[in-house]
Structure 1
Amino acid sequence: MCAHKNMAIASGSHQQVDGERLAIAADVLRHLADPTRLHLLHLIRDDEQDVSTLTTQVAASRSSVSQHLGRLRLAGLVQARRDGRRMLYRITSDHLAALVDEALGFADHSVRGIPHHHG
């Protein structure tokens, strides 16, 4: 147990957290709190996709998907690049992709009644 605690401290998981980091983390989580935005981030975690392609995969209108992507882009969570007349969107960070995966993994355990991992 002591080795696990030392490893956690060495990896920085228990380091002091300042107000700026807390505010940024809370803002990221606020953006993830919307099911459509969370779904969009999940869909673009590995590959770039355009609004039309994303609209066929989520329960939202094209206009709504565009608005959500715009909010995510303004927040710095999504990047866009032009490809002809299309805008292709992708997630900006491996940390964000892992956070999305973890949130969905937690939800999967809850929905399926699988016991949560305890480390």
Structure 2
Amino acid sequence: MHAENDMSDVSLSSPYVELAAEVLGLLSDPTRIRIILALESDEELSVGALAEIVGKKPSGVSQHLARLRMARMVTTRQEGTSVMYRLVDEHAAALVVEAIRQAEHAVAIGQIPPHHHTPAPIEPEARS
């Protein structure tokens, strides 16, 4: 198990359980999930670019970004008259990716979810 996926140091009595619930609630909006994925892919984007990518109006995307910024998931940088947004760290993207993988499992109905790689069949060696 990878150290970043090790849950042995997280307990039921962690003082961060309530805050974690708030983070998950904040990420429960599809537009915010798309914003996180877009920022994970492109590293830094303006409101206009994000609005185009997620298919929403810039004013709505700006409101979502404000909430993500208040939660310290995104940060900004001024570039001329534009404000550029980026993820603070990799954790928000990791949460979103894991949630999508869980969703794939939920609808897989006994099949192998797309994120699981099936090993290629081993072909027997050609005999001379």
TM-score after normalising by structure 1 = 0.77
2:88 equivalent to 1:72: no
Q: Which residue of 2 aligns with 1:26?
A: 21
Could you list the structure 1 runs, at least 4 aligned residues long, displaced by more than 6 angstroms after superposition: none
Identity in percent: 37
SS at match of 2:15: helix
2:101 equivalent to 1:105: yes
Larger Rg: 2
Q: Which residue of 1 aligns with 2:48?
A: 52
TM-score after normalising by structure 2 = 0.73
Aligned residues: 110
- Deviation string for 1:41-90 (max 9, x for gaps)? 11101410101111111132111000000111011111111111111111
Residue among 79, 84, 91 paired with 1:88: 84
Indicate the RMSD between aligned Cα atoms, in angstroms.
2.5
- Residues in 1 aligned to 2:107 and 2:37: alpha-carbon distance in whole angstroms: 18
Q: Which residue of 2 aligns with 1:36?
A: 31
Deviation at 1:16, TM superposition (A): 2.0
Q: Which residue of 1 aligns with 2:126?
A: none
The amino acid of 1:20's aligned partner reads: P
* Structure 2 gaps, min length 5: 117-128
The structure that is helix-richer by fraction is: 1
